[in-house]
């Protein structure tokens, strides 16, 4: 049984963790709020466990499912415990009124995480273009991702496929900021008639 580690115990941590557990993963939740992590592990059930916040994650793939504003601090806090790991950045750094981003080109949250993570770790942006309900509904869905390491992207792609998701590779980490804007676009579409049951897909004609 493969292990996937998730840092965070919020809505997206729950949705991704539940989907992973349903597809046979042992899910490890790590949160500053150990009580919340315990509750989430019980809710997900099966083989879900709680890991100590800041300790070395059990999984090779570590989903960083915290709010964007604390993501850099969380990766710093784990520090060397993340050596060799594939970190998955799912954040959407929207500004206060949702009209734009707090990040800029070349300085996406993904790039910020890569700057503070151990050199042997790789950061891949993924899942940020998905509403929580779409992750939770279990149906096939396209998941767009970007990151510097082609090997890490390949391993994320394999993980996504194992969750009955279709991996759609956007390329290098410079595309992570495009994914952040696409997250904002998704909300714009949802608010302007498409609704929050929406997902984007990449269709070859």
| Nearest CA among 30, 32, 34 for reference residue 56 | 30
Indicate the residue among 99 and 119 with the shorter CB distance to its own copies: 99
Q: What are the CA-CA distances from residue 81 to residues 38, 48, 73, 84, 86 (Å)?
A: 21, 20, 14, 9, 12
Residue selected from 55, 69, 115, 202 as contacting its own copies according to rule CB under 8 A: 202
* Residues of span 77-136 touching its own copies by CB under 8 A: 99-101, 104-106, 134
Determine, following the binding rule CB under 8 A, whether residue 1 of this chain makes contact with its own copies: no
What values do phi and psi take at 89, rounded to 5? -90, 115
Residue 119, CB-side half-sphere exposure with 13 Å CA sphere = 0
Residue selected from 144, 159, 163, 165 as contacting its own copies according to rule CB under 8 A: 144
Indicate the residue among 58 and 198 with the shorter CB distance to its own copies: 198
* φ/ψ bin of 168: left (φ > 0), alpha (ψ from -120 to 50), beta (otherwise): beta
Q: What are the CA-CA distances from residue 106 to residues 19, 76, 115, 123, 174 (Å)?
A: 32, 20, 11, 14, 6
Indicate the residue among 82 and 134 with the shorter CB distance to its own copies: 134
Tokens of 20: 């992973």
State the residue for tokens 């994320």.
156
* Residues of span 181-200 touching its own copies by CB under 8 A: 181-182, 184-185, 188-189, 191-195, 197-200
Q: Least distance from C-beta 7 to its own copies, angstroms?
A: 26
- # binding residues, its own copies (CB under 8 A): 42
Applying CB under 8 A, the span of 10-18, 50-58, 71-79, 175-183 interacting with its own copies comes to 175-183
By CB under 8 A, name the binding residues for its own copies.
Answer: 99-101, 104-106, 134, 137, 139, 141, 144, 146, 168-171, 174-175, 177-182, 184-185, 188-189, 191-195, 197-205
């Amino acid at each position: 049984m493969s292990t996937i580690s998730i840092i965070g115990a919020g809505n997206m941590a729950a949705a991704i963790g539940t989907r992973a557990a349903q597809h046979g993963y042992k899910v490890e939740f790590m949160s500053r709020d150990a009580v919340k992590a315990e509750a989430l592990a019980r809710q997900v059930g099966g083989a879900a466990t709680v890991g100590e916040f800041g300790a070395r994650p059990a999984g090779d793939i570590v989903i960083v499912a915290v709010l964007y504003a604390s993501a850099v601090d969380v990766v710093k806090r784990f520090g060397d415990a993340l050596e060799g790991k594939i970190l998955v950045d799912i954040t959407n750094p929207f500004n206060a009124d949702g009209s734009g981003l707090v990040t800029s080109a070349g300085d996406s949250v993904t790039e910020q995480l890569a700057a503070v993570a151990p050199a042997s770790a790789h950061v891949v942006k993924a899942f940020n273009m998905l509403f929580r309900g779409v992750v939770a509904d279990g149906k096939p869905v396209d998941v767009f991702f970007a990151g510097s390491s082609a090997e890490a992207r390949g391993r994320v792609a394999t993980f996504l496929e194992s969750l009955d998701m279709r991996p759609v590779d956007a390329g290098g980490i410079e595309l992570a900021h495009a994914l952040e804007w696409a997250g904002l676009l998704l909300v714009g579409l949802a608010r302007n008639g498409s609704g929050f049951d929406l997902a984007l897909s990449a269709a070859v004609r």
